[in-house]
Structure 1
Amino acid sequence: MAARSTKAVAVVSGRQFSQVAARCDAEAGKPAKTYKKFEEIRSEHDLYGPGVEAGKFPTDIEQSTGLERLEVLGKMEGVDIFDMTPLDASRLGTMEDPITVNSFGDEQYAGCTGFPVDSHGVKWLVISRERPIERCPECGSVYKMNYLGPTEDEHAHHDEHGHDDHHHAVAEDPKTFADFVKPDYRWT
């Protein structure tokens, strides 16, 4: 005889608690809290939420901090902070016409799935400010980083002569097959 197991599931509500809490506050006649707009964010301090009153369930905007808060504030205004749109896969990137990858950081990862799309497994390429062009080893598609970040390093400390206060040893990039390509074939 086979035993049959069943699970009892209790449905409390058809919506999330954060939505319930927000509606309860609105129904209580309390004035809506004001939050900094995305354009008003100037420092890390601006990325801390106000929290919530004791005994209440916080909404996402009340409890989020840091990058999550920046993302939530951006989404509220229709800005995709992390730009999760896929790269152009309608063509093969060439040295003359590479596929552009926008980046606000010094380094960016790009995943190539080949041309035509999904013709090979994802090959992760690392492009950086020092090495802005990379070629996929599987299909040969070329990707170029378009740096959009700040032009100066805000963390650099200089003395009165403009020299760095801290002299750090610069680690050499790991060798790849691209390092052994004849200079005649390199992009300059």
Structure 2
Amino acid sequence: MRYTEVKTVDDLFGPGAPAGTVPTDLEQSTGLERLEILGKMESVDVFDMRPLDASRLGTLSNPVLVRSAGEEQFAGCTGVPADSHNVIWLGMTRERPVERCPECGSVYKMEYVGPQEDHHHDHGHGHGHGWQEPKTMADYVKPEYW
């Protein structure tokens, strides 16, 4: 199977190894691991593992974009120029896609690239009845600054 032939979740189950042999990673992998291996075989970086743009300071009008196919994404900021401060991890969600590094002020924005018809996306209420996202300093930022 090729990466371009994957159409459903069922396509992400490997065939296994012939009896009496040791399986290869491709033969025994399933799910996202199999998708990543199939992609690598065709020079496709499925999870876009390139470093973020550290050549400039992100601003509210021109943030550093962080692509994500999931509900949330974490990005590590090391300042501008790169490595000018220790790594500070910033968490972004689909509901709150913008974060600012408290050390250097660089602004990051999560760009959702996942399925447009995402049945799991329910505006933060999918973590159990009554679940609320933990409070952070971002909860006290004026709405017009978002």
TM range (shorter): 0.7 to 0.9
Distance 1:118 1:38, change over 3 A: same
Tell me, what secondary structure is at the counterpart of 2:26?
helix
Amino acid at match of 2:103: E
What is the aligned length? 141
Q: Which residue of 1 aligns with 2:141?
A: 181
Q: Which residue of 2 aligns with 1:40?
A: 5
Q: Which has the higher contact order (CA 8 A, sep 6+)?
A: 2
Runs of 4+ in 1 over 4 A off after TM superposition: none
Tell me, what secondary structure is at the counterpart of 2:75?
strand
Distance 1:73 1:140, change over 3 A: same
Tell me, what secondary structure is at the counterpart of 2:67?
strand
Match for 2:82 among 110, 117, 134?
Answer: 117
The reply on whether 1:58 has 2:23 as its aligned counterpart is: yes
Q: Give me the identity figure in percent.
A: 63
The reply on whether 1:139 has 2:99 as its aligned counterpart is: no
Distance 1:46 1:182, change over 3 A: closer
The reply on whether 1:154 has 2:114 as its aligned counterpart is: no
Amino acid at match of 2:90: L
Per the TM alignment, residue 155 of structure 1 is displaced from its structure 2 partner at its CA by 4.9
Q: Which residue of 2 aligns with 1:26?
A: none
* Unmatched segments (≥5 aa) in structure 2: none
CA distance in 2, matches of 1:75, 1:132: 29
CA distance in 2, matches of 1:114, 1:95: 16
Tell me, what secondary structure is at the counterpart of 1:62?
helix
Distance 1:116 1:81, change over 3 A: same
Q: Which residue of 1 aligns with 2:40?
A: 75
Per the TM alignment, residue 147 of structure 1 is displaced from its structure 2 partner at its CA by 0.7
